Structure 1
Amino acid sequence: MRKKRLANNTLSSLILQITTIICGFILPKLILSNFGSDVNGLVNSITQFLQIFAFLDLGVGAVFQSSLYKPLADNDIVKISEIYVSGQKFFTRLAEILLGYVIVLIVVYPFIANQNFGFTYTATLIVAMSVSSFAQYYFGMANGLFLTADQRGYIQYNVQIITLILNTLSCYILIYLGASIHIVKMTTSLIYLIRPIVLKVYVDKHYSINKKAVYTDEPIKQKWNGLAQHIASVVLDSTDTIVLTVFSTLANVSIYSVYYLVISGLKQLFNATTNGIQALIGELYARQEKDELKKVFGWTEWLIHTMTTFIFGCAGVLIIPFIMIYTKGIVDADYNQPSFSVILIIAYAMYCIRLPYHIAIKAGVHYKETQHCYWIAAVMNLITSVVLVNKWGLIGVAIGTLVAMTYQTVWMAIYDSENIIYWPIKSFVKQIIVDILISVIGVIATKNIKITNYSYYKWFIAAVEVAIIWGIVVVVVNWIFYRENLKRLTQGLKNNR
């Protein structure tokens, strides 16, 4: 049953992320072509300000989900109901806070952002983009996280796939018909209202949760620590766009957002492969199956490091040609930023490398013990970005992200080694050395691959060539240092044919 649910979650999550990536490239391109870089920058800037709440499942939601692992494993319906009711109350309260936050944002944002749009234009756009966020926390957050904790995340992933496709088609038609950006974004919000409604209906039908359960002791431990960790995570993730909004230009925000489209797509692919693993590690930790836990963690660490090195290595070679093709015909900003792209890719490669250690912290419910790491990383990113943005612009904020991600990755690996998985830190050091070795050889082997006349066809041919070369490097180096893992991967692929 574990393997079947893991397979269902991983497959549906992977399909969701691929769909998200495809749709994520289509809509910004339409906005860029029809509304220009400044409007695209404004939309992405507002999105980042709203993501303080839009990514709430990384904070309190993560604690809510982690708290459910043990009662779900024990089939303790009383405890499950108490956690569910507590979580729903908290999300409802946060929805009300979100409403107040949006009102403040409407009043303040038009004056702090370095933009040339009128107050009414900007304020109404914020309203249009915030509707779905409010509905998500008021109606659907608890249900989605509950299904994920019960290793049935594929239910909500499938709903998201449908709404993403529906939204992309609707926005394409509206833009083609000449609709304003406000109508386009309001349509998106209304379509995304489908998600919480469907999840509520499913949970009500398939689970016997007592939604009137009364409890004396708070069933979700470390709730506020999770919120603190979440805020620090969002600050870390959103600093670049916010700093560029305040201290630079919306054109630079637009340039950053286009590069981040590629980076975000890669991040989503990695998150897709780890969504099911987190629930599995959470269950193993709750049951204290220590040997199996170490086995799963060790495999996850190697797989994520290897995938990160391969995928981000290829991206480092291919991202500039892709961006040049993607932004062809757009001349109101300079999208050719090679130094910025290299630093940003390394920074988010570190983000993906930290995933197994981040997953272990969430599965072990160690929020209180680790929240200072998130705060320190957030402050490091913010200070470095603000100090460097005036002199180096996009490169400055990318350096801030790299410094913060590197610190967080190393800190988490050490913490997990000493407090949760008890995985030897020398395994992490060895893995990092292998990652660097692969990267150096891969860069040298592909440095002469050039794309002179930009087109998607020529880019695809070059991408295949780069992937083959990096793939060979990854296999050869791992055959030397991680032969047993490589054999296990090959055997697993054969068995799934």
Structure 2
Amino acid sequence: MRIQNSLNNMIFGISGQIISLVMGFVVRTVFIYTLGIEYLGVDGLFTSILLMLSLANLGFDTAMIYSLYKPLAENDTYKIQALMNLYKKAYRIIGLIVLTIGLSLLPFLPFLMNGDTNIKNINLIYILFLLQSATSYYFVYKQSIIIADQRNHVISKIHSIFTIISNIPLIILLLTTRNYIAVLSTQVVFRIIENAYIANKANKLYPFLKESNNASLAKEDRKLFYENLYSLFLYKISGVIINGTDNIIISIFAGITWVGIYSNYLLIISTISTLISYLFHSITASVGNLNVKESKEKKYFIFRVINFANFWIYGFCAICLWNLINPFISLWLGEQYLLDMFIVFAIILSFYTAGMQNATTTFRETTGLFKKGKYRPLIAAGLNIIVSIVLIKFIGIAGVFLGTVISRLCVYFWYDPFVIFKFVFYRSVKSHFIRYISFTLLVVITIVLTNFIGSNFFNSNAIINIVFRSAICLIVPNIIFLILFRKSKEFLYLWKIVRNMANKSQTI
């Protein structure tokens, strides 16, 4: 049942993301040709500011989902109600905090944009972004029980439908009015409706959520929850700063136009990351269930399987991005929207190193190891800001992404695996690092090989060049990986899961 739930979550999550991918590119293309790159830069900057404001979340979502695993497995309705009551009160307060802090930043917006801007009503645009973020906290808390109960596919279905329904009027508005205020207002309305619909769906799936009750956590449970929450908050700070400051630093030191150019790359990278995240996020609740019920040998094997899948997927995507991202953007938008290959290298390296953390992050969150090394994320956050600012002055915006990579490698790369291997698997972490380095070297060698073939054997017509490079990227890495790993236990286990995805009726 655990694997079947994960498969359902993967299938519907990926399907939904493909829909979002197609609609996202259509809307982005219309956006650029109707409003221009400067509006795109403002969109990216305000999105990053609101990501920073999400610190007010404090890690409640992860702590709550982790806390729900056990009561859901044991059908402990009272404890589930108590946790949801706590979550509801907390998120209403969080929504108010986000709105208050967000409004207080209004006077400082000009200092976050390097150079003059021709965009009118900049404050109103920011307020609409802020409302979209703040209002979501009043509905989104009920998603946690659906996720913890291994039913992500329910949310994926709803999101796919709303993606189609909401993006069609956005495209019409962009083409007919070219009014960014009208577009943002429409986005806010649809986001509120979607969140309210998901909350209502949770009520139908778990009728006891609608019951009037005064359920509250026992003193010991509250203490443990807040201890985990405090540790998660520190990780939250680090994650938000590492992922959310890039656009802000680029805007301050290079200008809002560079944010707009980078946002096209970010759209592609984040779409791929989100698509892949459905694969791993869909199994998070199952891993949580695994960690409650299974032996340390079973946990270790599943960790190796997830880590191997991580390498294959992110390695393959890194190879494709290096060979295809600039030719694609050149064909899609024009050469004036291209970044040089050193910047592209830094972006892809950041993407790969972030992705390779998935296995350790999943196990750290589902085993409750929140308190181990809880102050290290603050070190990562500080390093990221300092190194990014220093490097952008010396090597340009590539330094922002390399700063992110350096901070990640200095903290998360070694410490998270160390803690998991010591306290969950009870074995040496040395083999994990050897495997990580071997995987990375193999990815680098394959990038060099595919780039050599793509650059030297066919490089004429733009469309044919992309088709040819796509074929090379699809065939060469997968053949190399298959030859090297076809007999490994991890590959055989994954292959069995793939066959089950085709048959869906089987379970492992």
TM range (shorter): over 0.9
Residue 295 of structure 1, aligned match among 287, 292, 301: 301
Q: Which residue of 1 aligns with 2:153?
A: 154
Quote the sequence identity (%): 21
Matched, 1:487 2:492: yes
What aligned pairs does 1:281-360 form with structure 2 within 5 A after superposition?
281-287=287-293, 289-328=295-334, 331=336, 335-360=338-363
Q: C-alpha displacement at 1:67, in angstroms?
A: 0.7
Deviates more, 1:256-265 or 1:445-454: 445-454
Q: Decide whether the 8 Å contact of 2:17 with 2:275 is kept in 1.
A: yes
Quickly say closer, same or farther: Cα 1:22–1:406, change in 2 above 3 A.
farther
- TM-score, normalised by the number of residues in structure 1: 0.92
Q: Decide whether the 8 Å contact of 1:9 with 1:151 is kept in 2.
A: yes
Matched, 1:435 2:439: yes
Quickly say closer, same or farther: Cα 1:401–1:192, change in 2 above 3 A.
same
CA distance in 2, matches of 1:270, 1:170: 28
Task: Give the length in aligned residue pairs.
Answer: 491
Quickly say closer, same or farther: Cα 1:58–1:155, change in 2 above 3 A.
farther
Deviates more, 1:312-321 or 1:72-81: 312-321
CA distance in 1, matches of 2:310, 2:443: 15
Q: Decide whether the 8 Å contact of 1:313 with 1:443 is kept in 2.
A: yes
Q: Which residue of 2 aligns with 1:91?
A: 91
Q: Which residue of 2 aligns with 1:171?
A: 170
What aligned pairs does 1:96-495 form with structure 2 within 5 A after superposition?
96-117=96-117, 121-138=121-138, 140-207=139-206, 208-209=208-209, 210=211, 212-215=213-216, 217=219, 219=222, 220-221=225-226, 222-287=228-293, 289-328=295-334, 331=336, 335-407=338-410, 408-422=412-426, 424-446=428-450, 447-450=452-455, 452-453=459-460, 455-456=462-463, 458-479=465-486, 483-495=488-500
Q: Any idea what the Cα deviations from partners look like across 1:353-387, whole Å, max 9, x if unmatched?
A: 00110111110122232432322221111111111
Q: C-alpha displacement at 1:460, in angstroms?
A: 2.8
Quickly say closer, same or farther: Cα 1:211–1:95, change in 2 above 3 A.
farther
Q: C-alpha displacement at 1:114, in angstroms?
A: 1.8
Q: Decide whether the 8 Å contact of 2:34 with 2:175 is kept in 1.
A: no
Quickly say closer, same or farther: Cα 1:379–1:178, change in 2 above 3 A.
same
Quickly say closer, same or farther: Cα 1:380–1:111, change in 2 above 3 A.
closer
State the secondary structure of the residue aligned to 2:116.
coil
Quickly say closer, same or farther: Cα 1:272–1:257, change in 2 above 3 A.
same
Quickly say closer, same or farther: Cα 1:24–1:377, change in 2 above 3 A.
farther
Quickly say closer, same or farther: Cα 1:358–1:103, change in 2 above 3 A.
same
Q: C-alpha displacement at 1:53, in angstroms?
A: 4.3
Q: Decide whether the 8 Å contact of 2:485 with 2:491 is kept in 1.
A: yes
Q: Which residue of 1 aligns with 2:4?
A: 4
Quickly say closer, same or farther: Cα 1:267–1:431, change in 2 above 3 A.
same
Unaligned stretches of 5+ residues in structure 2? 504-508
Q: Decide whether the 8 Å contact of 1:60 with 1:224 is kept in 2.
A: no
CA distance in 2, matches of 1:478, 1:406: 26
Quickly say closer, same or farther: Cα 1:227–1:78, change in 2 above 3 A.
same
Aligned residue type for 1:476: I
Quickly say closer, same or farther: Cα 1:143–1:28, change in 2 above 3 A.
same
State the secondary structure of the residue aligned to 1:365.
coil
Q: Decide whether the 8 Å contact of 1:300 with 1:356 is kept in 2.
A: yes
Q: C-alpha displacement at 1:288, in angstroms?
A: 5.1
- TM-score, normalised by the number of residues in structure 2: 0.91
CA distance in 1, matches of 2:264, 2:383: 24
Q: Decide whether the 8 Å contact of 1:72 with 1:80 is kept in 2.
A: yes
Q: C-alpha displacement at 1:391, in angstroms?
A: 2.4
CA distance in 1, matches of 2:14, 2:425: 26
Deviates more, 1:273-282 or 1:105-114: 105-114
CA distance in 2, matches of 1:426, 1:299: 17
Q: Decide whether the 8 Å contact of 1:81 with 1:211 is kept in 2.
A: no
Q: Any idea what the Cα deviations from partners look like across 1:185-228, whole Å, max 9, x if unmatched?
A: 12111111122211221222231135532425363332233233
Q: C-alpha displacement at 1:422, in angstroms?
A: 3.5
CA distance in 1, matches of 2:368, 2:444: 37
Aligned residue type for 1:474: F
Quickly say closer, same or farther: Cα 1:483–1:57, change in 2 above 3 A.
farther
CA distance in 2, matches of 1:135, 1:188: 12
Q: C-alpha displacement at 1:282, in angstroms?
A: 0.9
CA distance in 1, matches of 2:355, 2:402: 17
Q: C-alpha displacement at 1:15, in angstroms?
A: 1.6
